Amino acid sequence: MRTIPISMEQGFAYGLVALGIVISFRILAFPDLTVDGSFALGGAVVARLISLGVPPIYGIMLAVICGFVAGCCTGLLNTRLKINSLLAGILMMTILYSVNLRIMGRSNIQLLTVNTILTPLENMEINRFIPIIAFFFVVVFSVKFLTDMFFHTQIGFAMRATGDNEQMIRTLGVNTDNMTVLGLGISNAFVALSGSLVAQDQGFSDIGMGIGMIVAGLAAIIIGETLIGKASVQRMTLAAIVGSVIYKFIIAIGLRLGLAPTDLKLATGVMVILALGFPALKKGKEGKLHLRGV
Partner 1 sequence: MIKVKGARKIFKKGTIDEKVAIDGVDLHIPEGDFVTVIGSNGAGKTTLLNLISGTVQPDEGEIYLDNRRVTNLPEHKRALYLGRIFQNPLMGTAASMTIEENLSMADLRGRTRGLRWGVTKSRRDFYREKLKMLQLGLEDRLKESVTLLSGGQRQSLTLLMATLSLPKLLLLDEHTAALDPKTAQRVMELTDKIVMENNLTTIMVTHNMRQAIRYGNCMIMLHEGKIMFQAEGNAKKALTVEEVVKRFGADLKDESLLCEPTSIDSPL
Count of residues that bind partner 1 according to CB under 8 A:
23
Amino acid at 97: Y
User: What b/e string do you get for 26-49 counting C-beta neighbours within 10 Å, with b at 16 or more?
Assistant: bbbbbbbbbbbbbbbbbbbbbbbb
Q: Nearest approach, Cβ of 154 to partner 1 (angstroms)?
A: 4
Q: Least distance from C-beta 224 to partner 1, angstroms?
A: 17
Instruction: Select from 72-80, 170-178, 188-196, 250-258 the region that touches partner 1 (CB under 8 A).
Output: 170-178
Site for partner 1 in 217-246 (CB under 8 A): 231
Is 168 a binder of partner 1 (CB under 8 A)? yes
Q: Using an 8 Å Cβ cutoff, are 192 and 67 in contact?
A: yes
Task: Tell me the closest approach of the beta carbon of residue 290 to partner 1, in angstroms.
Answer: 9
Q: How far is the CB of 168 from partner 1 (least distance, A)?
A: 6
Among 87, 134, 146, 172, contact with partner 1 (rule: CB under 8 A): 172
**CA 146 to CA 200: how far, in whole Å?**
23
Q: Which is nearer to partner 1, 21 or 66 (CB)?
A: 21
Distance in Å, CB of 185 to partner 1, minimum: 15
Do 187 and 71 touch, CB atoms closer than 8 A? Answer: yes
At residue 173, the 3 state secondary structure works out as coil
Amino acid at 173: G
CA 220 vs CA 85, 172, 210, 252: distances in Å: 22, 34, 15, 14
Written as one letter, the residue type at 63 is A
The rounded distance, in Å, linking the Cα atoms of 103 and 208 is: 14
Q: Which of 165, 265, 266, 277 binds partner 1 (CB under 8 A)?
A: 165
- Residues 6 or more apart whose Cβ sits within 8 Å of residue 14: 194, 198, 216, 217, 220, 244, 248
Q: Which is nearer to partner 1, 179 or 216 (CB)?
A: 179
Residues 173-202 that bind partner 1 (CB under 8 A): 173-176
Per rule CB under 8 A, is residue 154 in the interface with partner 1?
Answer: yes
Cα 11 to Cα 140: distance, rounded to the nearest angstrom? 10
Which segment (61-69, 115-123, 158-166, 254-262) binds partner 1 by CB under 8 A?
A: 158-166
Q: C-alpha angle with apex 106: 105 to 107, nearest 5 degrees?
A: 135
What is the nearest approach in angstroms of partner 1 to the Cβ of residue 202? Answer: 35
Residue 50 beta carbon to partner 1: minimum distance, rounded to whole angstroms? 32
Residue among 194 and 237 whose Cβ is closer to partner 1 = 237
Pick between residue 8 and residue 161 the one whose CB is nearest to partner 1.
161
118 within 8 A of 201, measured Cβ to Cβ: yes
Site string for partner 1, 133-152 (x = CB under 8 A): -----------------x-x
The residues that touch partner 1, with contacts defined as CB under 8 A, are 150, 152-158, 160-161, 164-165, 167-176, 231
